[in-house]
Structure 1
Amino acid sequence: MHPIVIIGSGMAGYAAAREFRKLNPEHELIMVCADEAVNYAKPTLSNALVGKKAPEQIGLGDAAKMSTQLNMRIETQTWVKEIQSQQHQLLLEKNGQQSIQAYSKLVLAVGANPVRLAIAGDGSDDIHVVNNLKDYTAFRKNLDQHQDKRVVILGAGLIGCEFANDLQNTEHQVTVIDLAAQPLARLIPAHVASSFQEKLEQTGIVFVLGTTVEKVTQVDAGDYQITLANGQFLVADVVLSAVGLQPNLELAKATDIHCSRGILTNVLLETNQADIYAIGDCAEVNGLLLPYVMPIMQQARALAKTLNGQNTQVHYPAMPVAVKTPAAPLTVLPAPIDVDVTWETEQLEDGMIAKAMDNQNNVRGFVLLGATAAKQRLSLTKLVPDLIPTAV
């Protein structure tokens, strides 16, 4: 029997391996990745400063440790040049040498890469993105070189706001720029966003909304001038882009695996190619692309059973997302995009509870702002129906 091969060493890849090992300690398992395969929790990157964690303290285990822990061969610094799906084998390249690796089942846990905006200017190549530990190490090194601590963040989404709060709490001067009229535009309604923004502004964070960056230019002493589409100018020491992620589809497309926004799978996480599965930020499961921790864990548990011979459909219970912004504690359970909802809001002394109600008066999502509202998380979650049908 050929091994099960996992491509990718991110949270999804390691979660799939860990869940499979709980069920099957012996079947040969191989992980192939282009990096050093350090195991770490990616969400910790956006609040590591407040937690006083240096980049080298974030990793939970290197490849050697994880290989022993999971009884798994880990091929680091190894590129998958081709998936030969008919032959159930991979063409690999490491240190300039090519080799063939057979598989019985193949798991694509190839993640997503940051979207990069087309920005003019001789400073645009210096804009940081933080999508992995290596990116974060470079970002922190650059931060430590500047005393003025002026940081401009492109993107007022979940990651942008988390980084803004983390940086502001460590005495940086933070400006957040977004084309949308509000922060977290894709996650929360305008009236909650307004209160959320106000709480972050009280810490000193500046939001510049309804515009975008046109040019980043190097000026004296390593500073950057940022030119906005509205004619405004800003000066920063460090620029961070957090405008979203794009699933890595190149390998899948080259293998004639069907893709849309992500790699298309059914609720067994199967692609259209036999014995090839997808999981994590790259996987679009029955039309849903959910780049959050809890969906990845649900996928990993289901896929492990399927790989072990017991076909198991992924099941998504209601899964609230906690936004790591201590200045404005926020928990969000987005309503399904294909459901018309109206918002019912209860104002609290330190925030609000906003419930997304469908036309049958059922709760389909919610936003909890503030510490008092957060206490309603469990009771409200129980009222929300499952996100995805469990039919193939």
Structure 2
Amino acid sequence: MCVMEPLIIIGTGLAGYTLAKEYRKHDSYSPLTLITTDDGRYYSKPMLSIGMSRKQIDTADAQEMAEQLNATILTNTRVTAIDPQHHLIKIGNDELRYRQLVLAWGADVLQLDVQGDGTEEIYSVNNLQSYEIFRKAVSGKKRVAIIGSGLVGCEFANDLIAAEHHVELISQSHSLMPKLLPADVAAPLQSCLQTLGVRFHFGVGLEEVNRIENGLELTLTNGKLIHTDVVLSAIGIKPHITMALEAGLEVNEGIQVNHLLETSAPDVFALGDCAEVEGHVLLYVAPLMACAKTLARTLAGHPTPLRYGPMPVGVKTPICPVVVCPPPRGCTGQWQIHAEGLDVRACFVKDEKLFGYALTGRYVKEKYALNKQLTIN
């Protein structure tokens, strides 16, 4: 009797588990194996940046997920090599053959280049385990310095303030979320966070972190000193590509895949934060969900090209609701901005066509109407 090799998914983050769930909607019985370096708990990664003001983040353990997915889940297991030519992966001296392989192992956090004897007190949050370490570090502490003014830094600032911490936010940029928001849209969010008590330091970097008697002393590149208890680095992530490169897969910023999410090797696919889909790395939930649903159909024997719909990004800052649908990279339009106090509607327009938008306050509810007007490339 011929035994079918499994579909193997490396990674049990939001990408890996969402793909497995979607795949089981099309194929309930074919062998499925998920492999993860951690304990395999299922959780919603977007909740990590708003979890400090809550008692806990809901999870399901690996055994529960294995039963739900009719799958084998190998936890605390590190894949050491991929051999696309022979359809196998290596785990130390052991080998596993695959029918199809999906790389969903995510991204690595960017590391701060700083000096001082307190650099061990710099934390970053990129998964449930690192979140739990950070949460333990801030327990009983009041002062937190956040490095980075991107989406994650802003969400943590709002959440930590809500959890009654004192927050200093330090950024080399001159506004909040400069890669996502025009300055006129970022200003209301900054104003609201300042009202809560967040202190901003723009246009400067972090040079040193040193231990002092009652916490840490940060030296900024402009010479200013800040005293804090814990440092959270939120300067960004980069796709994990090292093993793919070693396996001979084509990589650029991420693992290069086509409109079917196929890599350069037969029967090897990639999605999520590690993938570069036809030249674009999109580190947000909406494109991940679109990719998972599409790839699930392809893996189940119904090749389906990826087509993105509107992909708005909701910024989880309750003090000032923000939603943004970024214009396509390289699109040469202009922002048309209408503001009434803290309520801003910004539309990115080219040739009288809408290619993106950013909304704050009461204008957030207009996203559904604007989604219908969007020009999708």
Is 1:216 matched up with 2:209?
yes
Q: CA deviation at 1:348?
A: 2.8
2:116 to 121, 129, 134: 121
Is 1:357 matched up with 2:359?
no
1:7 to 10, 32, 42: 10
The corresponding residue for 2:20 is: 17
SS of residue paired to 2:256: strand
In the alignment, the residues of structure 1 paired with residue 374 and residue 335 of structure 2 have an alpha-carbon distance, to the nearest angstrom, of 14
In the alignment, the residues of structure 2 paired with residue 157 and residue 385 of structure 1 have an alpha-carbon distance, to the nearest angstrom, of 26
Q: CA deviation at 1:350?
A: 4.1
Q: CA deviation at 1:153?
A: 0.1
For the 8 Å contact 2:355–2:376, the answer to whether it is kept is no
Residues 227-247 of structure 1 show CA distances to partners (whole Å, capped at 9, x for unaligned) of 000111100011000000011
Aligned residue runs from structure 1 range 223-238, under 5 A: 223-238=215-230
What letter is aligned with 2:7? I
The corresponding residue for 2:179 is: 186
Q: CA deviation at 1:5?
A: 0.3
Identity %: 39
Aligned residue runs from structure 1 range 217-366, under 5 A: 217-221=210-214, 223-358=215-350, 360-366=351-357
For the 8 Å contact 1:264–1:284, the answer to whether it is kept is yes
Q: CA deviation at 1:196?
A: 2.0
What letter is aligned with 1:32? I
What letter is aligned with 1:368? L
SS of residue paired to 1:168: helix
Aligned residue runs from structure 1 range 123-202, under 5 A: 123-146=118-141, 149-202=142-195
SS of residue paired to 2:80: strand
Aligned residues: 374
Is 1:86 matched up with 2:69?
no
In the alignment, the residues of structure 1 paired with residue 185 and residue 277 of structure 2 have an alpha-carbon distance, to the nearest angstrom, of 29
In the alignment, the residues of structure 2 paired with residue 316 and residue 382 of structure 1 have an alpha-carbon distance, to the nearest angstrom, of 13
The corresponding residue for 2:55 is: 53
SS of residue paired to 1:202: helix
Q: CA deviation at 1:181?
A: 0.8
In the alignment, the residues of structure 1 paired with residue 90 and residue 58 of structure 2 have an alpha-carbon distance, to the nearest angstrom, of 29
SS of residue paired to 2:86: coil
For the 8 Å contact 1:119–1:213, the answer to whether it is kept is yes
For the 8 Å contact 2:188–2:342, the answer to whether it is kept is no
Please give the root-mean-square deviation of Cα atoms over the aligned residues, in Å: 1.0
In the alignment, the residues of structure 2 paired with residue 105 and residue 212 of structure 1 have an alpha-carbon distance, to the nearest angstrom, of 44
2:364 to 364, 367, 374: 374
In the alignment, the residues of structure 1 paired with residue 356 and residue 39 of structure 2 have an alpha-carbon distance, to the nearest angstrom, of 39
Instruction: Name the stretch that deviates more: 377-386 or 21-30.
Output: 377-386
The corresponding residue for 1:30 is: 33
In the alignment, the residues of structure 1 paired with residue 129 and residue 58 of structure 2 have an alpha-carbon distance, to the nearest angstrom, of 11
Q: CA deviation at 1:161?
A: 0.3
In the alignment, the residues of structure 1 paired with residue 232 and residue 98 of structure 2 have an alpha-carbon distance, to the nearest angstrom, of 39
For the 8 Å contact 1:317–1:385, the answer to whether it is kept is no
In the alignment, the residues of structure 1 paired with residue 233 and residue 190 of structure 2 have an alpha-carbon distance, to the nearest angstrom, of 19
The corresponding residue for 1:390 is: none
For the 8 Å contact 2:354–2:373, the answer to whether it is kept is yes
In the alignment, the residues of structure 1 paired with residue 298 and residue 375 of structure 2 have an alpha-carbon distance, to the nearest angstrom, of 25
What letter is aligned with 1:38? R
Q: CA deviation at 1:315?
A: 1.3
TM-score (norm 2): 0.97
Off by >6 Å, runs of 4+ in structure 1: none
Q: CA deviation at 1:349?
A: 4.7
Residues 306-335 of structure 1 show CA distances to partners (whole Å, capped at 9, x for unaligned) of 111111111110110000011111001111
In the alignment, the residues of structure 1 paired with residue 135 and residue 220 of structure 2 have an alpha-carbon distance, to the nearest angstrom, of 25
What letter is aligned with 1:197? Q
In the alignment, the residues of structure 1 paired with residue 188 and residue 286 of structure 2 have an alpha-carbon distance, to the nearest angstrom, of 27
What letter is aligned with 1:76? T
Instruction: Name the stretch that deviates more: 346-355 or 312-321.
Output: 346-355
TM-score (norm 1): 0.94
Q: CA deviation at 1:100?
A: 1.1
For the 8 Å contact 1:3–1:102, the answer to whether it is kept is yes
**Structure 1: which 5+ runs fail to align?**
388-392
